[in-house]
């Protein structure tokens, strides 16, 4: 779980040396030292992390997931150094609103006492005694860090840095050993976002612009429209599939709005693809009805797709440059469409 050089700190740091067991956790420069008392399922622990804002360690009775864990989080502010116990549920995770647990207690453990808190620069250390409500010497645990707090509420940690996602594993409290867990795939999340933003959120609007304003260049407009829509649907389907896979792997986490919009977009997009092969001929008396359906569903898909890209950005919380880049792309498409619409109104003969 750690290198020999890291383990040296367990013997050189006076705050950690007092404990029977000590391990370097293998992510974020964190260490955990402890004494375990099996007779009453209590644990004296000391956690050491590197963070400019807050650092925390948590216990989960069912797996090495953030959801369902009880976490000790330490931070400093104008009133001093603080350590609180938090219960991380799917609701608090989704809405990113953590508040200290009442009476220093959760369904899985109790914070019996805080021994000490030491904050120096980017180093945060704390020691506490906790009591487990279930009997087990082998536990799942998590740890991570963040950049700041709002009152007693830690601000969300980054989900775009792999180091912030690797803080998970198992501990054998009796034998003093630990195993680093496997972090969720950051690459899959990025791939999902890029595929969906470039397909549903860019190629489909671009194809709609081609269909509305390039009809003078027949049949080039049709091929441009179908190329954008076809490629967009294929890439979007791949992104949708990755999204379903990520959802299945995210135990206890469900972004309901993002998921429902995604399902709606994919369903309507699939109907559009089917409608392409069922379209009436140009001289058919019901062609107008097909065209009305095609435009209505198409514009609905585009509007929902763009909204869902921003919903995904809110969930993923990447660096601001990503959001600004997509806003720039959408603003560019909207400006182009607006100028073409003005020109189409003033000189309709140019647009066929």
The pLDDT confidence band at residue 6, using thresholds 50, 70 and 90, is very low
Tell me if residue 108 falls in helix, strand or coil: coil
CB-based contacts of 153, cutoff 8 Å, min separation 6: 97, 98, 99
Cα separation, 65 vs 182, whole angstroms: 10
The pLDDT confidence band at residue 111, using thresholds 50, 70 and 90, is very high
User: Residue range 167-177: average pLDDT?
Assistant: 86
The CB density around residue 207, as the number of other CB atoms within 10 Å, is 22
Predicted confidence (pLDDT) at residue 240 exceeds the cutoff of 50: yes
Domain 187-351 top-level CATH class:
mainly alpha
- Give pLDDT, residue 92: 67
Superfamily name and number for 4-180: Cellobiose dehydrogenase, cytochrome domain (2.60.40.1210)
Q: DSSP secondary-structure letter at 97?
A: -
Cα separation, 171 vs 174, whole angstroms: 9
- Ramachandran quadrant class, 317 (left: phi over 0; alpha: psi -120 to 50; beta: rest): left
- Give pLDDT, residue 159: 62
Q: pLDDT digits over 325-341, tens only?
A: 999 999 999 999 999 99
The CB density around residue 126, as the number of other CB atoms within 10 Å, is 26
Q: pLDDT digits over 197-218, tens only?
A: 999 999 999 999 999 998 888 8
Predicted confidence (pLDDT) at residue 252 exceeds the cutoff of 60: no
The pLDDT confidence band at residue 10, using thresholds 50, 70 and 90, is confident
Q: Does residue 27 contact residue 77 with C-beta atoms inside 8 Å?
A: no
Predicted confidence (pLDDT) at residue 350 exceeds the cutoff of 80: no
Q: Which ranges of the chain does DSSP label H, i.e. alpha helix?
A: 4-12, 14-17, 90-95, 162-165, 186-198, 204-213, 220-249, 256-277, 287-316, 320-346
Cα separation, 66 vs 164, whole angstroms: 12
pTM over 0.85? The answer is no
Residue numbers in the known binding site for heme b are 192, 225, 258, 294
- Give pLDDT, residue 168: 85
Predicted confidence (pLDDT) at residue 98 exceeds the cutoff of 60: yes
Residue numbers in the known binding site are 192, 225, 258, 294
List the domain boundaries for the chain: 4-180, 187-351
Q: pLDDT digits over 266-300, tens only?
A: 999 999 999 888 887 878 888 889 889 999 999 99
Q: Does residue 55 contact residue 73 with C-beta atoms inside 8 Å?
A: yes
- Give pLDDT, residue 77: 86
Cα separation, 232 vs 235, whole angstroms: 5
Tell me if residue 99 falls in helix, strand or coil: coil
Q: Which residue has the higher pLDDT, 277 or 232?
A: 232
Cα separation, 5 vs 229, whole angstroms: 55
User: Residue range 92-120: average pLDDT?
Assistant: 85
- Treating both helix axes as pointing N-terminal to C-terminal, what angle do 256-277 and 287-316 enclose, rounded to 10 degrees? 150
Tell me if residue 130 falls in helix, strand or coil: strand
User: Residue range 77-99: average pLDDT?
Assistant: 81
């Amino acid at each position: 779980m750690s290198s020999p050089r890291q383990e040296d700190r367990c013997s050189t740091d006076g705050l950690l040396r007092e404990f029977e067991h000590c391990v370097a956790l293998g992510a974020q420069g964190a260490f955990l030292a402890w004494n375990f008392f099996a007779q009453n399922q209590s644990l004296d622990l000391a956690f050491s992390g590197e963070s400019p804002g807050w650092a925390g360690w948590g216990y989960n009775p069912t797996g090495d997931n953030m959801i369902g864990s009880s976490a000790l989080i330490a931070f400093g502010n104008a009133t001093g150094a603080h350590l609180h116990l938090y219960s991380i549920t799917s609701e608090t995770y989704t809405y990113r609103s953590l508040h200290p647990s009442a009476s220093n207690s959760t369904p899985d453990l109790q914070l019996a006492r805080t021994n000490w808190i030491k904050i120096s620069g980017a180093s945060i250390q704390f020691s506490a005694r906790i009591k487990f409500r279930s009997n087990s010497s082998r536990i799942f645990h998590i740890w991570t860090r963040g950049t700041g707090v709002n009152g007693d509420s830690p601000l969300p940690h980054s989900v775009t840095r792999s180091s912030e996602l690797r803080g998970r594993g198992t501990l054998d409290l009796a034998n003093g050993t630990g195993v680093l867990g496997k972090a969720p795939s950051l690459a899959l999340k990025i791939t999902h976002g890029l595929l969906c933003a470039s397909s549903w959120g860019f190629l489909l609007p671009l194809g709609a612009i081609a269909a509305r304003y390039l009809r003078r260049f027949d049949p080039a407009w049709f091929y441009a429209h179908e190329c954008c829509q076809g490629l967009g649907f294929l890439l979007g389907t791949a992104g949708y599939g990755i999204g379903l896979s990520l959802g299945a792997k995210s135990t206890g986490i469900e972004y309901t709005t993002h998921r429902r919009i995604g399902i709606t977009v994919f369903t309507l997009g699939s109907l559009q693809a089917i409608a392409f092969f069922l379209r009436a001929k140009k001289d058919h008396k019901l062609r107008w009805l097909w065209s009305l359906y095609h435009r209505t569903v198409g514009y609905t898909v585009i509007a929902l797709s763009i909204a869902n890209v921003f919903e995904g950005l809110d969930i993923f919380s990447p660096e601001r440059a990503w959001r600004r880049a997509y806003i720039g792309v959408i603003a560019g498409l909207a400006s182009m469409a607006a100028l073409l619409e003005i020109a189409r109104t003033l000189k309709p003969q140019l647009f066929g």
